[in-house]
């Protein structure tokens, strides 16, 4: 399917009230310093709202602009610009990039047939900027593109800088923004669902001038222009509720006494299944087993003591790191890969309890995994590095701007090979896996028996 996106307008939306002088400079936390140079992308899709006439589209877009301006004072760093030499955000109220676009197709052409008609690379056109366009003084920290389809449907593409935000922060912003827009249309709309963002990560984790974890994401997203390495392609795989139950049953059968030593989550089960497939592909490519480094991001907001509030904004993630020598990867079956994933996460979660109450030792519990990973990636040229991310359980599907809740969320094509992002489906039971691999590896991944059996 060919999809053409035409930009109709572009402007900067400034906060409805200026940022106070005492909040002018926001020095980022060391957890922000370690984040990669990129934007965190997400697209939310909404079917046509029958209560909004075609002539009201312009006024609805104005509602989005006005509500955005109203919510920005609470998210004041997002209107500023990052000064990388000083590792701070100048909260100068320069504004958030806001684009309006028209798409020359119907939304059902994207949503139809299990979303298989459109390749993820095409969805990048629904974003307001390239994913790698970040960290320069001219780059907005937040960009939004409102895409209107011929059928009256809408897609809101969002890019938020990873220098100041993670997937949870993006969720907090979308809910707060949509609450303002929805309450403008209906004063009773979620009136008790007030969100108060907190930007206090530097108080917990003062800056240390640490290195960033670079993923090699170019500032331009056109893979045909990336000549430094092989082409990376992205594909979406759906694990529905039935498939997840069958995967869980297989894990139980593989256990000696038919029981779990630990209760594995659906994310751990799917991650283990994908990991096993990726390890087999690597062995096929090299004709031998290689050492592997498996990284999983863990949101530690609710895992510290005391707990960090869930609406704290910034980067509150830690790596769960698992290493495998060539012999371990050679003998890695489904049960072993699930155990590897689950054990690494459990150990990391246990360590999270001391992050806030153990002084320097607590800080090093966050820093050491990043340092370990960075050193291993730079030192070893014969290492199979795999990055697993989970965005499950974040309430993106609650973002109702007055059109109703989104019917689908999507990621896009991200040119970072051997990386996976898991995200909930709209029914809450299924999980979508957005997998980024070299083109030749993607073909092998799609032919893996387990992937063919358990995904649609």
Cα-based distances in Å from 33 to 36, 209, 351 = 8, 7, 21
Q: Residues 6 or more apart from 456 whose CB is under 8 A from it? A: 114, 237, 238, 240, 243
Q: What is the pLDDT at residue 188?
A: 56
- 55-89 residue pLDDT tens: 566 688 999 999 999 999 999 999 999 999 999 99
Mean pLDDT, to the nearest integer, of 344-357? 95
The answer, yes or no, to whether residue 390 has pLDDT greater than 50, is yes
User: Which class for 35: exposed (0-12), middle (13-18), buried (19 or more C-beta within 10 A)?
Assistant: buried
Longest Cα separation, the chain: 65
Q: What is the pLDDT at residue 117?
A: 60
Contact 79, 15 (CB under 8 A): yes
Cα-based distances in Å from 38 to 54, 99, 212, 246, 388 = 36, 19, 11, 36, 17
Contact 16, 73 (CB under 8 A): yes
Beta bridge partners of 102: 6, 148
Q: Quick check: helix, strand or coil at residue 165?
A: coil
- 245-259 residue pLDDT tens: 999 999 876 665 545
Query: What is the sign of the dihedral through the CA atoms of 133, 138, 143 and 147?
Result: negative
Q: Residues 6 or more apart from 261 whose CB is under 8 A from it? A: 255
Q: Quick check: helix, strand or coil at residue 332?
A: coil
Give the closest residue to 385 by CA, choosing from 229, 274, 277, 278: 278
Mean pLDDT, to the nearest integer, of 312-317? 97
User: Which class for 83: exposed (0-12), middle (13-18), buried (19 or more C-beta within 10 A)?
Assistant: middle
Tell me the two tokens of residue 403.
Answer: 């059109």
Q: Quick check: helix, strand or coil at residue 8?
A: strand
Q: How far apart are CA 246 and CA 424, in angstroms?
A: 18
List of domains in the chain: 7-204 (3.30.559.10), 226-400+414-454 (3.30.559.10)
Contacts 24+ apart (CB under 8 A), 170-174: 170/40, 170/42, 170/394, 171/394, 171/395, 171/396, 172/197, 172/310, 172/311, 172/313, 173/71, 173/75, 173/78, 173/142, 173/197, 173/313, 174/42, 174/44, 174/396, 174/399
Q: What is the pLDDT at residue 34?
A: 94
- 86-102 residue pLDDT tens: 999 999 999 999 999 99
Percent residues over pLDDT 70 in the chain: 90
| pLDDT band with cut points at 50, 70 and 90 for residue 193 | low
Q: Virtual CA dihedral for 181, 114, 298, 167, nearest 10 degrees?
A: -30
Residue 421 CB neighbour total at 10 angstroms: 21
Where residue 113 falls (left for φ over 0; alpha for ψ -120 to 50; beta otherwise) is left
Q: Pairing mode, if any, of strands 39-46 and 154-161?
A: antiparallel
| pLDDT band with cut points at 50, 70 and 90 for residue 229 | low
**Phi/psi at 33 (nearest 5 deg)?**
-60, -35
Q: What is the pLDDT at residue 220?
A: 60
- 258-277 residue pLDDT tens: 455 567 999 999 999 999 99
- 110-161 residue pLDDT tens: 987 555 667 899 999 999 999 999 999 999 999 999 999 999 999 999 999 9
**Phi/psi at 89 (nearest 5 deg)?**
-105, 125
Q: What is the pLDDT at residue 198?
A: 97
Q: What is the pLDDT at residue 228?
A: 56
Q: How far apart are CA 175 and CA 249, in angstroms?
A: 36
The beta-strand segments (E) located in 70-192 are: 81-83, 88-90, 96-103, 142-149, 154-161
Tell me the two tokens of residue 374.
Answer: 């960075």
3-state secondary structure 185-207: HCCCCCCCCCCCCECCHHHHCCC
Give the chain's end-to-end CA distance (angstroms, integer). Answer: 19
């Amino acid at each position: 399917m060919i999809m053409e996106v035409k930009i109709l307008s572009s402007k900067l939306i400034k906060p409805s009230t200026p940022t106070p002088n005492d909040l002018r400079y926001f020095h980022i936390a060391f957890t922000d310093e370690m984040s990669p140079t990129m934007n965190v992308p997400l697209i939310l899709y909404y079917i046509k709202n029958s209560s909004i006439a075609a002539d009201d589209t312009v006024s609805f877009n104005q509602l989005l602009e006005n509500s955005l301006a109203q919510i920005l004072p609470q998210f004041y760093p997002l209107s500023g610009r990052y000064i990388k030499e000083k590792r701070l955000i100048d909260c100068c109220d320069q504004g958030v990039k806001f684009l309006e676009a028209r798409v020359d197709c119907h939304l059902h052409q994207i949503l139809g047939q299990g979303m298989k008609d459109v390749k993820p690379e095409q969805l990048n056109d629904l974003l307001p900027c390239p994913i790698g366009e970040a960290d320069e003084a001219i780059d907005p920290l937040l960009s939004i593109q409102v895409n209107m389809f011929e059928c009256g449907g809408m897609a809101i593409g969002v890019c938020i800088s990873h220098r100041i935000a993670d997937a949870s922060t993006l969720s907090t912003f979308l809910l707060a923004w949509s609450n303002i827009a929805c309450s403008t249309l209906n004063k009773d709309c979620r009136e008790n669902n007030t969100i108060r963002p907190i930007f206090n990560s530097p108080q917990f984790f003062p800056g240390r001038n640490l290195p960033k974890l670079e993923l090699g994401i170019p500032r331009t997203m056109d893979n045909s222009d990336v000549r430094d390495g092989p082409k990376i392609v992205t594909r979406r795989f759906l694990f529905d509720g039935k498939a997840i139950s069958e995967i869980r049953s297989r894990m139980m059968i593989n256990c000696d006494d038919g029981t779990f030593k630990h209760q594995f989550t659906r994310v751990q089960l799917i991650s283990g299944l994908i990991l096993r497939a990726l390890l087999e592909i690597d062995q096929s490519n090299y004709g031998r087993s290689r050492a592997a480094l498996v990284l999983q991001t863990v949101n530690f907001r609710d895992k510290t003591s005391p707990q960090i509030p869930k609406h704290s904004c910034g980067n509150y993630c830690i790596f769960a790191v698992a290493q495998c020598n060539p012999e371990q990867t050679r003998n890695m079956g489904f049960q072993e890969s699930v155990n590897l994933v689950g054990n690494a996460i459990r150990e990391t979660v246990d360590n999270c309890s001391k992050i806030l109450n153990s002084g320097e030792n607590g800080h090093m519990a966050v820093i050491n995994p990043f340092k370990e990973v960075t050193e291993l990636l730079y030192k070893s040229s014969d290492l199979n590095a795999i990055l697993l991310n989970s965005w499950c359980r974040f309430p993106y599907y609650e973002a109702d701007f007055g059109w109703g809740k989104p019917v689908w969320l999507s990621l896009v094509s991200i040119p970072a090979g051997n990386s996976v992002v898991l995200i909930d489906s709209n029914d809450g039971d299924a999980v979508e896996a957005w997998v980024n691999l070299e083109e030749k590896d993607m073909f092998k991944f799609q032919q893996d028996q387990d992937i063919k059996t358990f995904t649609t």
